[in-house]
Structure 1
Amino acid sequence: MAPRRKTLRGLVAWPAVFALAALSLLPAHAPSQQDVSEFEKRLARINEEIRVLRTRVEEVSKRESELLSQLEHIVLSKKLVRNEIAALNLQLEKLNGDLAATRETIAGLRDRLRGEQRSIEKTLVTLYKYGRFDFLHFLLQAENMSTVFSESRHLTLLARHQQDVIASYLKTMADLRSAEADQEKKKAEVAGLIAESGRKRQELEAQEVENRALVQQIRKNREKYQQALEEQKERARQLQILMDRLASQEVVLPFRFVPFYEKKGKLPWPISGKVITRFGIEPYLNTRTMNNGIEIAPPKDNTVVSAIHPGKVVYADYFQGYGNLLIIDHGMNYYSLYGHCDEFMVRKGDFVREEQPIAVAGDLGSLKGVSLYLEIRYKARPLDPLQWLKRR
């Protein structure tokens, strides 16, 4: 009998490796359709920003003879890299989620296998007991022919079901291993792209050092400063053309509000920080510069820009010389302009309330680092913002 018991142990052990899978096919804990849709929307939004930035970088690179264009090229390129890294991080986040779901599925399979192992062993013991592997022995043990036919049919079904379960398990495990290997490969690819973007950003940070040196050169060299002023004057002229066009398309706001002119000296500040450029004529290096607005340098931990009065966003786009520019129509021919924005939090056509966050301050189009450029206009004519904002 000893050899026979040894055979039984072998029979029990072999299916335990494969058939544990039998009933272990747990559904994968995959991300919900809503999660996937949200990921796709976020990725599409970032990719669209990347597309727009690449177009702008190409446009600016064509004007590299202009000092201000050289500065804008560097700042735009840095923002482009940040968006590329954001897109890669988003893809990596999804891949990590997929990998976690795969690991959870495999863990569930193994738990289910351990639970089914005892059942399978019992089945094998039963098969052995009734001589499934020795039909003649089974016939001799059977009490009557009815038992023979009944048990034979049941055991055949068990064996057939066991084979189907094993085949399904092996296929599922192969699929899971393949999927996990594929995701690990993608994860490695994305990590490589992130590393590449990191190196690219380091290069751009080195260029930013050159950028700051160029800014200093412009501000200290009268000839270069004069060239930059002439370039900025042309851009101010283009902005005036835009404002004239907007003023001819007066917006009627669909809600009640306090008229802008009644808020003179009472308007909230769009951002905290120090005023680094004032309205009006500014003498510098024996030159005279006319500023149509003010520049505010915010603290590093608070760069969110807020609307100074209710109105409608009539412009939200890149504007050469001013970076990303927002223009809000406050009704009755009053406007506020917000330049050097790093990103917008509203879109053209949106209605905004007073002190609603509308943008984040940046350094695009600025000679003075991260700042907000603010203008207030009446019928396209610039007004001194400091006379309209609350005293502080």
Structure 2
Amino acid sequence: MSSYLRNPYKRFIILAATLLLLCGAEDTRGADVHPIGIVATEGLAVQSEPGRKGLLQKTLKKGTEIKIIKRRQGWLQILHEGEVGFIRDQAQFIKIIPKKMTDTAEKQSTQLNDQHGQVDIIESRQKHIRSEIEKGRQEVEAFRRKESDIIKRLNQVERALNVSRKRTAALRDEIEKLDLRIAETTKSSEELIKRIQANEDYVAKRLTAMYKMNWLGKFQLLASADSMHEFIQRKAGLERILAHDEKIRRTLVKNQAELNKVLAEMETHKNRKSIRATEYKNQIRLMSQERSARENLLADIRSQKALELAAIDALTQAANELDRKINSLTAKINETARNKTNSRLPFSAHKGLLIRPVNGKITNLFGTYKNSKYNITNFRSGIDIQADIGDPVRCVFKGKVLFASWFKGYGNMIIIDHGKNYYTVYAHLEETFKSKGDLVETGEVIATTGDTGSMTGAKLYFEVRHHGKPVNPVIWLKKG
């Protein structure tokens, strides 16, 4: 298929231009010299076409002036009040008044019939082109809807992928905790088994001793005492031994019950871990599918100019939406509470002294930039810092978290209020460790870098704003 057919925009423009040229041709034709006719009878019928098949268009009063376009086999093609029709070419119906012409006009008149001989063809072409233009307009609208759907689909896939990442991380953490619990219960069970084994050995020895004592007889043991004092001592000693034996027996029973409980708990942990491990594998597979869908969409966008331009436009709209979001957030902050700060020096006193939010090279600067590929001029409200997925992102100055969630075009994003109308924005984050309302300190890790909402891979998008308006972040960061 040719590029003409593939590009609905180009096709639409070419058809429209052709129609304009044809309209221009009609205008030129209309400027030519036409003979004048005067209706000689009352109620002269004007038909849509010559012959019996012609339908009645209207009737003309006697004395009406008309223009004669051409003669055709006993019929006259006429023009009256912008309408073209046909009447009988008979003297009793119409009186033709020839115009005086110069030599040049006579030459034009000679060419007139030839030009108007093409009227039907031109009108037919006009009709066809108008139909093609309408089709082109519908194709353009369908193409625009497709562009919009693809950009929306990309955002949906981005959000689904972000949810999968969080779910995967949560399952991984839960599995690690279960492993720790299993290790703890295993250690407890081993210690209980050792205590039970020791108590069982003691009980076995005591049973042997008691058997022997029973064979001699308790009375024999007590009666062999040489004195009453020795008798009492033997009796007391025997009671202490029996009491200790009872204590050991109870401890043994308790340890066995505790061991059964620990083993049951360990089995529960193992079963739960098995379930979570299966969920984790399924989540990894789902995340892989969503990542593949995201890469395919990005590849489509990069390979088609119209889609890439639509993506650029979507990012511009997202930037405007971010402006509105920040203005909305700042409007809700009480002015008195906003101006309070626990720092000895406010944010404004740290120009050129702020720490870098992440280690990496600044790849895109703040301000107006030109897309050389499409010759488009745009404005970037922050900077892009190249970083690997998972690198720690630090708060550049202490403050309070205003926003910590997903934002279209920016992925996972955090906005921090530093007081006195100063704010910083951190976007395209992988994991966020802070929530709305949390207080954060200078240098504290608030997130990790990622590629959420990014069309160009892993990076950190960073902004500094004052009264809601973006300012150049580079002049606020430490150099080097």
Does the alignment reach a TM-score above 0.5? yes
2:158 is aligned with 1:66? no
Q: Which residue of 1 aligns with 2:384?
A: 295
Q: CA RMSD in A?
A: 3.7
- Give SS of 1:66's match: helix
Residue 337 (structure 1) shift: 0.8
Structure number with greater CO (CA < 8 Å, separation at least 6) is 1
Residue type of the alignment partner of 1:273: G
Q: Counterpart in 2 of 1:318? A: 406
Structure 2, unmatched stretches of 5+, are: 1-148
Deviation at 1:272, TM superposition (A): 0.9
Alignment of 1:1-392 (within 5 A): 65-130=152-217, 169=252, 173=256, 176-177=259-260, 179-248=262-331, 249=333, 250=335, 251-280=338-367, 281-283=369-371, 285-286=373-374, 287-299=376-388, 303-392=391-480
Compare the two structures and name the one with the higher strand fraction.
2
Answer whether contact 1:272 1:299 (CA < 8 A) is retained: no
**Aligned sequence identity (%):** 25
Mark the CA change 1:143 to 1:375 in structure 2 (over 3 Å): closer, same or farther: closer
Q: Residue type of the partner of 1:258?
A: L
Give the AA of the match of 2:281.
Answer: G
Secondary structure at the counterpart of residue 321 of structure 1: coil
Distance in 2, Cα, partners of 1:241 & 1:167:
72
Cα contact 1:327–1:337 (8 A) shared by 2: yes
CA contact (8 A) 1:218 1:224 kept: yes
Residues 312 and 352 in structure 1, CA contact (< 8 A), matched pair in contact too = yes
C-alpha contact (below 8 Å) 1:327/1:338 kept by paired residues: yes
Letter in 1 for 2:211: L
C-alpha distance in structure 2 between counterparts of 1:67 and 1:288, whole Å: 24
Quote the Cα distance in structure 2 between the aligned partners of 1:242 and 1:184: 50
For residues 310 and 168 of structure 1, the distance between their equivalents in structure 2, rounded to whole angstroms, comes to 56
Do the aligned partners of residues 111 and 262 (structure 1) sit closer, same or farther apart at CA in structure 2, a change above 3 Å counting? same
Structure 1 window deviating more from structure 2 (280-289 vs 361-370): it is: 280-289
Alignment coverage as a number of residue pairs: 322
TM-score (norm 2): 0.57
Task: Provide the TM-score with structure 1 as the length reference.
Answer: 0.68
C-alpha spacing 1:191/1:63, structure 2 compared with 1 (3 Å): farther
- 2: distance between equivalents of 1:378 and 1:162? 79
Letter in 2 for 1:362: G
Which deviates further from its counterpart, 75-84 or 350-359?
350-359
Say whether the 8 Å CA contact 1:363–1:369 is kept in structure 2: yes
* 1:56 match: none
Judge conservation of contact 1:229–1:289 (CA < 8 Å) in 2.
no
**Structure 1 residue 174: deviation in Å?**
5.6
- State the distance in 2 between where 1:262 and 1:165 align: 72
Cα distance change of structure 1 residues 110 and 310 upon mapping to structure 2, 3 Å threshold: same
